[in-house]
A and B are shown apart, each in its own frame.
Chain A
Amino acid sequence: DTGVSQNPRHKITKRGQNVTFRCDPISEHNRLYWYRQTLGQGPEFLTYFQNEAQLEKSRLLSDRFSAERPKGSFSTLEIQRTEQGDSAMYLCASSLEQGRANVLTFGAGSRLTVL
């Protein structure tokens, strides 16, 4: 297993276009998270899946954002009608539920630049 894989690593798009990011988590991990990180900030929670169920969404996740994890394996994050404020690093992480400890393993991220 090569860890958490994210594609594409960098996406440049024009305002108003749709973009989709893909995340392949560590295979035995049942939890999958999406975070967003902007310059000078720490990662901010967007949404969380346990297996294929999306259990929580942050208020940061506007109606233009949608995430899926159709078979409880890989996940996609789609942003519709992108805005310049969507420019950020989108990080995916996965973890295995183990009692109190919830150690997330992050991918390298997908950087979005909206022109």
Chain B
Amino acid sequence: ETGVTQSPTHLIKTRGQQVTLRCSSQSGHNTVSWYQQALGQGPQFIFQYYREEENGRGNFPPRFSGLQFPNYSSELNVNALELDDSALYLCASSVNGGQGEYFGPGTRLTVL
């Protein structure tokens, strides 16, 4: 069984730009969640997608948006990047109502 994969591994952007991060969920998992992990902090929940619909959102502004595709892969889009958006972005997949989240290796975003 394949795990959760994310691309790219690292990314450098400048303030005001837009970025798209990608995630392929683990086989058989229909739910994808995104988390932001700032340096030295625990991950913070951004939002979750279940069967292509947003299924809950954390305390993040609307410039953070997402998509889930029919094959359950997902994108995280961030517009108007700010310096504080620099973080490790983690994607996690699960079976809805299931047994815990399975995380990908993350994308390290640096905003200059």
Q: Do the two shown chains form a genuine complex with each other?
A: no
Interface on B for A, CB 8 Å cutoff?
none
- A residues apposed to B, CB below 8 Å: none
